[in-house]
Amino acid sequence: MQPFRDTFKHKGRRKQLIGELTEMGIQDQRILKAFDAIPRHYFLDLAFDEQAYTNMAFQIGSGQTISHPYTVAFQTELLELEKGMKVLEIGTGSGFQTAILCQLGAKVYSIERHQPLHLKAKQMLDFFKFNPSLFFGDGYKGNRVYAPYDRILVTCGAPDLPQTLLDQLKIGGIMIIPVGEGAEQKMLRIQKTDASNYSTQEFGTFKFVPMLERTVKNTK
Ligand code: SAH
């Protein structure tokens, strides 16, 4: 791991980003505080150090990208998270979103299908002394062992709504998932109303890396 330095410059840029997120409509102060507490540049290659607090996505290896800060904040706000909730995240990626969820007091289970990313995120989250359960495997399968979840957050674009994940959501629970087959997805907020029904709300169009299927066994 690179030696981390959180300088006045980084802190200043972070405050500026938080201002931008507020202007873009993020209102939950707990989320804005979490963005202040977690240095995003730690999750990025040194090459992106200067730009880490711009509202942009960057390469994180294995052909994947860290989500835009606004997207992370927006998805987190839609989750309506409360401390102690059990959250299943699909697409650990850099681990930045995972860290935000941990900072907000969630009990996080996160699955990543690229092993190098899974291992790097594990190191990062250990560094922060967070203790999420991280799995290398196929998010389509979710993780039945710890189900049902209060919240499910999908951070890659799904071609459709995966039934397995719906099955692992608590009744009354919320799933935030970008759904769409092309380059763009609709951000959906699914609330499970009973064992076999759910309601859906739409929250605009986003661009995510695709959720990919892979037959690997889910391991820690
Ligand atoms: N929250 C992450 C988002 C990374 S991009 C961040 O901000 O860093 C989405 C991630 O989803 C990628 O790392 C990709 O490898 C992962 N992914 C794609 N399909 C998946 C699947 N079926 N199961 C688990 N992870 C998947």
Q: How do residues 136-168 score in pLDDT, each as one tens digit?
A: 999 999 999 999 999 999 999 999 999 999 999
Q: Is residue 3 part of a domain?
A: no
Specify the number of domains making up the chain. Answer: 1
Q: Is residue 102 part of a domain?
A: yes
Residue pair 88/153 in contact (Cβ under 8 Å)? The answer is yes
CA–centroid distance, residue 211 to ligand 1 (Å): 7
CA–centroid distance, residue 93 to ligand 1 (Å): 5
- Residue at 132: amino acid letter: P
Give the CATH number for residue 112.
3.40.50.150
CA distance 142 to 109: 10
Q: Is residue 128 part of a domain?
A: yes
CA distance 32 to 30: 6
pTM, rounded to two decimals: 0.96
Q: Is residue 212 part of a domain?
A: no
- Residue at 52: amino acid letter: A
Catalytic residues: 67
Helix axes 8-23, 29-37, angle to 10 degrees: 160
Longest dimension (CA), the chain: 51
Taking the CA of residue 140 as reference, the ligand 1 atom at the shortest distance is: 22
Taking the CA of residue 94 as reference, the ligand 1 atom at the shortest distance is: 8
Domain enclosing residue 154, as ranges: 8-206
CA–centroid distance, residue 163 to ligand 1 (Å): 18
Ordered alpha helix ranges (H), the chain? 8-23, 29-37, 69-79, 96-103, 115-127, 163-167
CA distance 131 to 183: 34
- C-beta 142 within 6 A of ligand 1: no
Q: How do residues 7-66 score in pLDDT, each as one tens digit?
A: 999 999 999 999 999 999 999 999 999 999 999 999 999 999 999 999 999 999 999 999
Q: Is residue 20 part of a domain?
A: yes
Q: Is residue 2 part of a domain?
A: no
